[in-house]
Structure 1
Amino acid sequence: MSNFSANKSGMSTQHQRRQSMPAPTPISTNVTPTIITTPPSATGSGPLGLGSRFHNRHPMMLHGGPRNRISVWIDHVLSFIPRRRRQIRYPIVFCVGLYLFLVYLYLQDVPTWSAVASFKVKNWAFNWDVKRCSYRKDPMLFVKDSSTVLVIWEMNCKLPSMELTWVPTDRSSRPGMDQGHEAVLGSTAITTLDKMHIVYTATLSGIPSTNTNISYSINPPRALSHLSRTYTFSHLPNPPSLEGREIARFGAVSDNQCEVSQFYNVLKAMTEHHKIDYLIHAGDAVQEYTSLDNWQTDFASPLSHFKIGQTTPLIYAHGNHDFDPLGEYTYTGKRTWHAYTLAGIRFIVLDSNLDSQEQDRWLEQELKSEATKQAWFRLVLVHVSPYTQYWEKDAWVNKGEKDWGSFVRTRYVPLFQQYHVDLVISGHQHNYMRGQDDHMVYTIIGGAGGQLDSEQVEDYPVWADGKVKSRHHYVLMKVTGDKRLIWEAYDADCGSRIDAFVLHSRTEA
């Protein structure tokens, strides 16, 4: 039999089977349908009693709702991606944004962030007692008077036999202790704050009254010789008259508390562009005086990072945040008000925290002294300005902060005018200001890190024709041999000069 016949026979048999199957039963029209109820959480409310989530929404709502401008913009940017793969647009945008952010950090802030992180990690390591006997704070210099400098450092261990020696050296020679002078032993005092904070204070007294370099060395026990340190700084009490030549440079900052990264940038800008002999600090170096961590990470570490503390003596006035009610001042030296002459300038440092009759009497005697009268310039350094003009209004009015240091304006300014003070430097207010009253110049330099002030709370005539800049900044003050004081204020972020003036000495001969 052929294949065709077989297939045909099979088809015939299948047809016969279909013919023999019984007819299907007709569908009844009386069957009651079963209603499936959708849970209320899924349906919500809607017209006609139907769930609006599935039955009553515009078709666009099923695909994410109306498209906003951001979605349209993202679709336009990612138009090169096939539409079927457009759902990956948000991960792509996130990855691109993260990449750009990391590039920004690399180009802008990574050096600052890494330095600040190193300050924090170093402090944590000491706090957790995982570092061997070492320096928590490198040596820092503080001017006490015209012939005395304090050297203060901190260890995480107590070494009773630690000594400091110093010797004057030739300004043209290399630093060292072999300049033909006998080393002088500085007296060292030890203050134990706790087992991890031991502060050493050495006094370098009897420094020569002529311009010289001072080389000093810290000498630990022989078994810890790796802790030996030697540094050199310039001492400029009475500069000669050198026509047209610079004889000293002073950097000036204030109010760096709260923001160590900004303070780091201020110091970086200063040290990259200028070499300074002394650093003026008008107070508020830390946010909380009692915080040992603040003193470590926010003040000492940035100064040590740029080698300022060890080789640049500080002229320091205490602010309200670094005020010690007990008068100990462990990290800055026990002094409240004092005066000394450097590079022809008579520095008169006052304490605006203490409304004291004793300070009043001392100030008047100092202004009458021959040392003040004969100085090329008379400079007052006090934290709270006599004329604070920008502050937070609620704190100024309702919390009584307008009265802080008001005695500086009411009692000290008349003395400044009577005895011909040339320049008053203050901080406290977080911005830059320069004003003038007759022959006396007032400056505020509170822009080394703290949040800037821009809300005006007073209107003093002394600032009327001056300069106001709400910028983080630092100041460079230069003294020349022809008795000029050159003042320059710089924006710490962009490096531009925001203000400058020149004072000529009013002292005869």
Structure 2
Amino acid sequence: MPAPAPISTTVTPTIIATPPSATGTGIGARFHSRHPMMLHGGPSNTISLWIERILSFIPRRRRQIRYPIVFCLGLYAFLAYLYFQDASSWTAVAGFKLKNWAFNWDVKRCSYRKDPMLFVKDSSTVLVIWEINCKLPDMDLTWVPAIGSGLVHMDQSRNAVLGETTFKALDKTHVVYTATISGLPSINTNITYTINPPQVMNHLLRSYTFAHLPEPPSLEDREIARFGAISDNQCEVTQFYKVLKAMTEHRKVDYLIHAGDAVQDYESLDNWQIDFASPMSHFRIGQTTPLIYAHGNHDYDPLGEYIYTGKRTWHAYTIAGIRFIVLDSNLNSQEQDRWLEDELKSEASRTAWFRVVLVHISPYTQYWEKDAWENKGEKHWGSFVRTRYVSLFQQHRVDLVISGHQHNYMRGQDENMVYTIIGGAGGQLDKEQVEDYDVWTEGKTKIRHHYVLMKVTGDRRLIWEAYDADCGTRLDAFVLHSRTIA
């Protein structure tokens, strides 16, 4: 039997060349091999290293799905980013509701429920309205023309004018104060007003400055005043918050036009707090931006008290060359008829650069809910504005009619007069067409939430721009040239 062959103790291993597709390092490489003994390239750069660390919790045998997982995580992060774009509005609205709850349950010390808000009533008068959760009869308001940067000069503080202040307690935690700033100068200036509480309540001291622009200065080709314009924010405070945010980020305005329906239910104190006052205060609009306000059907007070907006519901005043004529579409009144005709004939109206009517219900409402329009009589709401007032507007050369009520944007024209509807500040949008008026035929309709910026220039132009509140695109624009002879 032959002897067995000797066993060699020197072994030269055979090197197995791992194909590029298994290592993940070659051209066309996609996945690592699932076999644990196969060699692989590992992370080749910092990004891959971080991916490897992030996905280290995944069993190695499942690493071939890393790229789908990375894609899904990236998509999730993108969707989360879009989701949290609205987080600021939801957080703010939650804060409004929590603050209101705390006041209602009387767990906050004496402080402001509603910060001061300004309402223009005539060319030399502005109302300041605020609310606190305790009764302080000694509160008053003083005002003085501002100097320089807007701060009151110490030597002139003694010349501050005392505004007439009254208060009304609605209940234990709702005490509304109204101060009248009257006798404002007839020249353009800034006004600083101060709310003075009793000394033991110094935390309630407030001071703000607003622009007072009764006359247009001689500034050719330059902007002399800017107005924001909104309407119908009731019911949807989150959307209203977005509208105000978009408008304030665009550019600060000198005045804010509001065409009514700031709340859904006039008698609801919670509506006034959460849906209107809190968003306005959040962006510091009400305190420094006087409101040109027309009452709508939802903020109509049959008793005529108008605690939060001032009692006068039709009035007129001149701002930067524009004669604003504010009407009440809730009141089919001969008294308002006579007042309107006298106002349109007045020298202030005839000599203004532009005559602008602000009325909640448009003469030509075209979109509404069909059943309510036809079967509930809502087509007749404010119809006297069309049947009696439009002819007066045409006769006395009104340039622009601004309305709300209908929840979308429209612009039309008839007899050299432009009509606009700006009811897109928050309420559910109207999409059902119920009428077909000729004035809108050559105009524009946009069923979007929006706001308007309107400016007046020294060369007698009124520039109007409507913007989508959600994406920021410009929906419409036009320019009016003054028809008043210089």
The 8 Å contact of residues 177 and 215 in structure 1, kept in 2 or not, is answered as: no
Work out whether residues 255 and 446 of structure 1, in 8 Å CA contact, stay in contact via their aligned partners in 2. yes
Unaligned runs of 5+ in 2: 1-57, 60-68
Tell me the equivalent position of 2:137.
Answer: 160
What is the alpha-carbon distance in structure 1 between the residues aligned to residue 81 and residue 102 of structure 2?
Answer: 30
Q: Is the counterpart of residue 174 in structure 1 residue 174 in structure 2?
A: no
Query: For 2:86 and 2:366, how far apart are their aligned partners in 1?
Result: 33
Q: CA deviation at 1:495?
A: 0.5
CA distance, structure 1, for counterparts of residue 256 and residue 235 of structure 2: 20
1:199 is aligned to 2:176: yes
- 2:226 is matched with 249
Q: Verify: 1:269 aligned to 2:246, yes or no.
A: yes
Q: Look up the equivalent residue of 2:444 and give its one-letter code.
A: K
- The 8 Å contact of residues 114 and 131 in structure 2, kept in 1 or not, is answered as yes
Q: Give me the whole-angstrom Cα distance separating, in 2, the residues matched to 1:120 and 1:376.
A: 44
Q: Is contact 2:150–2:190 with CA below 8 Å preserved after alignment?
A: no
Contact 2:150 2:192 in 1 (8 A): no
Q: Is the 8 A contact 1:350 1:380 kept in 2?
A: yes
> 2:30 corresponds to which residue?
none
Q: Is the 1:175–1:231 Cα contact (8 Å) retained in structure 2? A: no
1:483 is matched with: 460
Letter of the 2:380 counterpart = D
Give 1:47's aligned residue. Answer: none
**Helix, strand or coil for the counterpart of 1:180?**
helix
Give the distance between the partners of 1:343 and 1:144, measured in 2 at CA.
15
Counterpart residue number, 1:500: 477
1:431 to 401, 404, 408: 408
Stretch of structure 1 that moved more, 237-246 or 115-124 = 237-246
Is this contact kept in 1: 2:323–2:356, CA < 8 A? yes
* Aligned residue runs from structure 1 range 445-464, under 5 A: 445-464=422-441
Residue in structure 2 matched with residue 18 of structure 1 by the alignment: none
Aligned to 2:207: 230
Letter matched to residue 257 of structure 1: Q
Q: Is the 8 A contact 2:294 2:360 kept in 1?
A: yes
Deviations 1:317-351 (A, max 9, x none): 00000000000000000111100000100000000
Determine helix, strand or coil for the equivalent of 2:108: coil
RMSD: 1.9
2:159 matches 1:221: no
Identity %: 80
* Residue 405 in structure 1 maps to residue 377 in structure 2: no
Counterpart position of 2:66: none
Counterpart of 2:315 (choices 335, 338, 343) is 338
Q: CA deviation at 1:231?
A: 0.3
Query: 2: distance between equivalents of 1:260 and 1:184?
Result: 37
User: Which of residues 101, 120, 126 in structure 2 aligns to 1:143?
Assistant: 120
Q: Which SS does the other structure have where 2:413 is aligned?
A: strand
Q: Decide whether aligned partners of structure 1 residues 443 and 401 sit closer, same or farther in structure 2, where only a CA change above 3 A counts.
A: same
Rounded to whole Å, the distance in 1 between the matches of 2:215 and 2:275 is: 33
Q: Which residue of 1 aligns with 2:329?
A: 352
CA distance in 2, matches of 1:410, 1:177: 53
Instruction: Find the counterpart in structure 2 of residue 103 from structure 1.
Output: 80
| Cα offset, 1:106, TM superposition | 5.0
| Matched residue, 1:121 | 98
Q: Displacement, 1:281?
A: 0.1
Equivalent runs, 1:287-326 vs 2, <5 Å? 287-326=264-303
Letter paired with 2:120: V
Cα distance between partner residues in 2 of 1:316 and 1:124:
28
Instruction: Sort the Cα spacing of 1:177 and 1:293 in 2 relative to 1 into closer, same or farther, 3 A.
Output: farther
Partner of 1:211: 188
1-side partners of 2:445 and 2:396: how far apart?
27
Q: What is the DSSP-based 3-state SS (H/G/I as helix, E as strand, rest coil) of the residue aligned with 1:247?
A: strand
- Please give the residue correspondences for 1:346-425 in structure 2 after superposition, counting only pairs within 5 Å: 346-425=323-402
CA distance in 1, matches of 2:154, 2:216: 25
The question of whether the paired residues in 2 share the 8 Å contact of 1:126 and 1:196 is answered with yes
Q: Which residue identity lines up with residue 358 of structure 1 in the other structure?
A: E
Query: Which residue identity does 1:178 align to in structure 2?
Result: M
Taking the aligned partners of 2:410 and 2:149, their CA distance within structure 1 comes to: 41
Q: Which moved more, 1:497-506 or 1:104-113?
A: 104-113
Please state whether the residue corresponding to 2:166 is helix, strand or coil: strand
Partners of 1:421 and 1:440 within 8 A in 2: yes
Alpha-carbon offset, residue 169 of structure 1: 1.6
Q: CA deviation at 1:211?
A: 0.2
Q: 1:184 to 1:401 in 2, by over 3 A?
A: same
Q: Which has the larger radius of gyration?
A: 1
- Pairwise CA distance, 1:274: 1.0
Contact kept, 8 Å, 1:280 with 1:316, in 2: the verdict is yes
Q: TM-score, normalised by structure 1?
A: 0.80
Q: Is the 8 A contact 2:140 2:195 kept in 1?
A: yes
Aligned to 2:43: none
Report the alpha carbon displacement of residue 177 of structure 1 after superposing the two structures with TM. Answer: 5.1
Code of the residue aligned with 2:399 in structure 1: it is D
Deviations 1:150-184 (A, max 9, x none): 000000000010011100123x4332353636101
Q: CA deviation at 1:105?
A: 6.3
Q: CA deviation at 1:227?
A: 1.0
1:447-487, CA deviations, whole angstroms, 9 ceiling, x for partnerless residues? 00000011100000000000000000000000000110000
Ranges in structure 1 where 5+ consecutive residues have no aligned partner: 1-80, 83-91
TM-score by length of 2: 0.84
User: Equivalent residue for 2:447?
Assistant: 470
For residues 344 and 155 of structure 2, what CA distance do their matches in structure 1 show?
A: 39
Name the amino acid aligned to 2:227.
F
